[in-house]
Structure 1
Amino acid sequence: MNTRMKDNLWGYFFIGPFIIGFLAFTFIPILSSLYFSFTSYDLFSSPTWIGLDNFKKMFTEDPRYFQSLKITIIYVFGGVPARLVFALIVAMLLNTASRAVGIYRTMYYMPSLIGGSVAVAIMWRNIFGDDGIVNLALQGLGLDAIRWFGDPTAALWMLIALSVWQFGSSMLIFLAGLKSIPQSYYEAASVDGANFMQKFFSITIPMLSPVILFNMIMQTIAAFMTFVPAFIISKGTGGPLDGTLLYSLYLFKQGFEYFNMGYASAMAWVMLIIIAVLTSIIFATSRFWVHYESEGGR
């Protein structure tokens, strides 16, 4: 056996665990879910082929499906822009020379590390409870307390507030992007008499636009897949009045509560298509607002 073949065998040996894991836990499950989406499958008996019936039911016979889709769209388009704006503001505040800036970055990143956990969802539920700190603060200001768990709209915006609070990962990416912008650009703009807002919209935003595109796509995909906060805060019901019935929560309920795994698989593939279409639209429109310095602009 020659040296090249030995090197190849060692390469296959080290990459083997990844390939096995990818096939066993990603590729094969994906293909299985595609097959199940065309079947009636309750997890306990063999799947029965029913063709497009799951998709027909989804779009013509299931009002809760459209409710979950509407709630998720509001959650995505309400939460993602707010999170990105908040993350950018904090990143700009932290983009300063300070001895404690490392500590500040860690503190602001912590919510993203623990924000999707069960413990934080429970904490959030307590914060917005009838006797929680939010209602106590409102009453202290002379305002009426809000029944966050009795009003579908209030419950949804409570979830959106939690998603905005988890801005740490986006903030760090924005911060890295801000660090890559040459200070000479700002110095030249100052010499020309530009104020802060002119620098922000003429230098910061264009130079940061590729980072904004990346964060927008990643956060949009993550928002569509949000599950734990809605499950914990609504105690698995999606209430009140399906006001927090996010798409992934309804998919879970169909698959593991109602044992309609075939229908849940069909929902998963429709979600994949929706995310793919939305991502494609973002990429298609990016040519009008994303600036790449190496290409001399767009």
Structure 2
Amino acid sequence: MWSLYIRFLLTELTKKSSRKLCDKSQAVNWVPLGGLLSFRPKAQSTDEDGAFTCATRTRHTVEIVALTRIALCRAALLLMTFQHAADEVKLSAELYSTWVDVLCHVGQVDAVPTAFCHGLGQHPSSVMLWLVRLRFITTTNRVVDEVTAVIEQALNSVEEKESYPLWELALCWAKLHSPDYVDVLLKKGVLKCPEVSVPLKKDYLDWVLFSKDVHSMREIYKSLSGSEPLSIEFFQTYISLEKSQAKPSIKRIKQTYEDAVQHYGSNSVELWLDYIKMEMTHPKGKPQEAGQIHWRAMKTLNGELIEKFVTLYTLLQTGHL
């Protein structure tokens, strides 16, 4: 019952008002904004000199204030209902998230921790609620230790397989506010389950090159490439980063292609084609080895991919790929 009533109040709060204003020109536009309503005066009539008349300005001011009060009263009723409902029943994680959203939009930021307390007390492993809490604290709290404490609490509270969005948000914040914590997160993250470790491994390469140097990135690649699970994107990221260097190491690039085809050569046509293209176009490549790579691809690819590979290889040879 509480959930239905809350949804009804939300509908009332966000729908366009049908209230008639003092004149028939509808002097105010109702503009949905983050679940609430803001008010924007329409173009208003002017006198012959192009200036708003005093009477016009006064009338519109009164109308806007009246409409604002209506919305605020509805918002106050909605917030009171949220509080009563949370005290009596278990609301959905989605409604707790909406409660926080409404509090933020009406400026009652001090009440947000109470909503989180209710919501996470009822749904301690909800990824959605922890995401909302992390977004809130990373935008309102400048104390690094306090933010990192909440991040750690969030990561320890949810199912590991579902936690990647939290890692992603935490890393985005840490890159701006606590670079040392980025290293801490990445070192822990690459040891987690595949749903977390696989995407973080390629992120680790990017971060080390950005924050340190290419030699450190190569060491990280060497360490991570021997640790399953991996992804084709991990190898592609490293190849791209090597190619972006002022003096790219063709030896390292070739070895990375070899590492990649060892893992994914049976099901990736594009990987073989990229390898061949590199040999044909790189200033230090060996075009004469393209034929040997082609032969290996034909022997390695799954049967249903052979025709696709032959077609694309022909396009590559004729300069159409």
TM-score normalised over the length of structure 1: 0.20
TM-score normalised over the length of structure 2: 0.19
Higher relative contact order (CA 8 A, sep 6+): 1
Q: Is the radius of gyration larger for structure 1 or structure 2?
A: 2
